[in-house]
Amino acid sequence: MVVIALSLGAGWTLLSRVPSTAANSGAQPASPRQGFAAPDFTLDLLGGGKVTLSDLRGKPIVVNLWASWCPPCRAEMPAIEKVYQDYKDLGLVVLGVNTTNQDSEADAATFVRQYGLTFPIPLDRDGSVSVRYALRGLPTTFFIDRKGVIRSVVVGGPMSEAVIRSNVEDLLKETP
Amino acid sequence: MYPYLRLGPFLLQLPLLALLVGVWIGSALAEKEAVRLKLPSATINNLVFIVIIAGIVGARLAYAARYLSVYLANPLSLFALNFNTMAGFDGVLIGLVFAALYGWRKKLPLRPTLDALAPGLAAFMVALSLAHTLSGDAFGAPANLPWSIYLWNEYRHPSQVYETLAALAVLFVAYKKPFGQVGNGTNFLLVVALLSAARIFLEAFRGDSLILLGGFRAAQVIGLIVLAITLYTLRIWTQTGIPTTTKSESDFFKQT
- The residue of chain A nearest to residue B151, with distances taken between CA atoms, is A31
Among B140, B186, B190, CA closest to B163: B140
**Model ipTM?**
0.79
* A3 in a structural domain: no
Kindly report, residue by residue over B164-180, the tens digit of the pLDDT. Answer: 999 999 999 998 887 77
Instruction: Indicate the Cα dihedral angle B247, B249, B254, B256, nearest 10°.
Output: 160
* A8 in a structural domain: no
Question: Which amino acid is residue B103, in one-letter code?
Answer: G
Residues of A in contact with B4 (CB under 8 A): 136-137, 155
How many H-runs (helices) and E-runs (strands) does chain A carry? 5, 7
CA A39 to chain centre: 10
Confidence grade of residue B249 (pLDDT, cut at 50, 70, 90): low
Q: Does B61 touch chain A (CB under 8 A)?
A: no
* A9 in a structural domain: no
- With pLDDT > 70 as the criterion, what percentage of chain B qualifies? 91
* B128 in a structural domain: yes
* A2 in a structural domain: no
Q: How many residues does chain B have?
A: 256
Q: What is the CATH number of the domain that holds A32?
A: 3.40.30.10
Kindly report, residue by residue over A70-84, the tens digit of the pLDDT. Answer: 989 999 999 999 999
Is B4 within 8 Å of A137 when comparing Cβ atoms? Answer: yes
* B48 in a structural domain: no
Is A33 within 8 Å of B152 when comparing Cβ atoms? Answer: yes
pLDDT score recorded for residue A25: 47
Number of folded domains that form chain B: 1
Among A123, A168, A120, CA closest to A142: A168
The three-point CA angle B230-B235-B238 to 5° equals: 115
Number of folded domains that form chain A: 1
Segment (H or E) for A63: strand A61-66
* B209 in a structural domain: yes
- The residue of chain A nearest to residue B193, with distances taken between CA atoms, is A5
* B186 in a structural domain: yes
Is B67 within 8 Å of A35 when comparing Cβ atoms? Answer: no
CA distance B36 to B182: 10
Is A162 within 8 Å of B11 when comparing Cβ atoms? Answer: no
* B157 in a structural domain: yes
* B222 in a structural domain: yes
Highest mean pLDDT among A112-121, B63-72, B147-156, B208-217: A112-121
Structural domain that includes position A120 = 25-173
Q: In this structure, is the dihedral angle defined by the CA atoms of residues B175, B178, B179 and B182, taken in order, positive or negative?
A: positive
pLDDT score recorded for residue A155: 87
Average pLDDT (B12-27) is: 91
* A81 in a structural domain: yes
Alpha helices in B84-205 (DSSP H): 88-105, 110-135, 159-176, 186-202
Is A16 within 8 Å of B217 when comparing Cβ atoms? Answer: yes
Cβ contacts below 8 Å, chain A against chain B, sum to 116
Kindly report, residue by residue over A47-62, the tens digit of the pLDDT. Answer: 999 999 999 999 999 9
Say which of B3, B77, B216 has its CB closest to residue A162. Answer: B77
pLDDT score recorded for residue B169: 97
- The residue of chain B nearest to residue A37, with distances taken between CA atoms, is B152
Counting as low any pLDDT under 70, the low residues of chain A are 20-28, 176
pLDDT score recorded for residue A37: 93
Cβ atoms within 10 A of the Cβ of B212, count? 15
Average pLDDT (B226-233) is: 95
* A13 in a structural domain: no
Top residue of A1, A3, A16, A164 to mutate, by most chain B CBs within 10 Å, is A16
Among B213, B179, B219, CA closest to B195: B219
* A165 in a structural domain: yes
Q: Does B141 touch chain A (CB under 8 A)?
A: yes
pLDDT score recorded for residue A158: 87
Phi first, then psi: what are they for B137, rounded to 5°? -75, 175
Structural domain that includes position B188 = 4-39+109-255
Question: Which amino acid is residue B206, in one-letter code?
Answer: R
Q: Within a 13 Å sphere around the CA of B37, how many CA atoms are in the beta-carbon half?
A: 33
CA distance B112 to B47: 14
Is B67 within 8 Å of A36 when comparing Cβ atoms? Answer: no
* A78 in a structural domain: yes
Cβ atoms within 10 A of the Cβ of A42, count? 13
CA distance B149 to A12: 24
Residue B256: is its pLDDT beyond 60? no
pLDDT score recorded for residue B3: 72
Among A62, A70, A158, A79, CA closest to A115: A79
Q: In this structure, is the dihedral angle defined by the CA atoms of residues B75, B81, B82 and B88, taken in order, positive or negative?
A: positive
Is A29 within 8 Å of B204 when comparing Cβ atoms? Answer: no
Q: Within a 13 Å sphere around the CA of B128, how many CA atoms are in the beta-carbon half?
A: 13
Contacts 24+ apart (CB under 8 A), A150-154: A150/A32, A150/A33, A150/A34, A150/A35, A150/A36, A150/A37, A150/A38, A151/A34, A152/A34, A152/B84, A153/A32, A153/A33, A153/A34, A153/B84, A154/B82, A154/B84
CA distance A45 to chain B (A): 28
Kindly report, residue by residue over B71-98, the tens digit of the pLDDT. Answer: 888 888 888 777 778 888 999 999 999 9
Is A9 within 8 Å of B203 when comparing Cβ atoms? Answer: no
CA B229 to chain centre: 17
CA distance B3 to A15: 33
